[in-house]
């Protein structure tokens, strides 16, 4: 599975949009981009995933570049509860047995 590169950390003001970048320049055509986050003392939480098209759900939006070499997770109105470590993962679907490879992720701190 392709490796990903994320900044180590990022700060964001409460109420503003948080744009979290991820580079995955070696991604293959059949690999998906997944985002998880981990709030302190909790297990990782699924946020969103995509293949080529931009995606939006109740939590966030995912923007994938046309060449698929990078993506951005957007939290439209960040709250203090969004402070967490965010993981960008690239993975090929295998029908339910996929091993998530997390990396170190990026620490997002939302400030009041």
Partner 1 sequence: GAGVSQSPRYKVAKRGQDVALRCDPISGHVSLFWYQQALGQGPEFLTYFQNEAQLDKSGLPSDRFFAERPEGSVSTLKIQRTQQEDSAVYLCASSPLQGLLNYGYTFGSGTRLTVV
- Among the residue ranges 16-24, 60-68, 72-80, 88-96, the one whose residues contact partner 1 (CB under 8 A): 88-96
Count CB neighbours of 75 within 10 A: 21
Decide if residue 46 touches partner 1 (CB under 8 A). yes
- Among the residue ranges 23-31, 65-73, 74-82, 102-110, the one whose residues contact partner 1 (CB under 8 A): 102-110
Query: Least Å distance between CB 85 and partner 1?
Result: 8
Decide if residue 44 touches partner 1 (CB under 8 A). yes
Chain positions contacting partner 1, by CB under 8 A = 34, 36, 41-46, 49, 85, 87, 91, 93, 95-105
């Amino acid at each position: 599975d392709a490796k990903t590169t994320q900044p180590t950390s990022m700060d964001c003001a409460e109420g503003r949009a948080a744009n979290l970048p991820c580079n995955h320049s070696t991604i293959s055509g059949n690999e998906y981009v997944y985002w998880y986050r981990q709030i302190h003392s909790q297990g990782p939480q699924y946020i969103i995933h995509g293949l080529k098209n931009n995606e939006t759900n109740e939590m966030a939006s995912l923007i994938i570049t046309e060449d698929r070499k990078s993506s951005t997770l957007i939290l439209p109105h960040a709250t203090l509860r969004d402070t967490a470590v965010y993981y960008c993962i690239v993975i090929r679907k295998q029908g339910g047995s996929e091993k998530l490879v997390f990396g170190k992720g990026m620490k997002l701190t939302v400030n009041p």
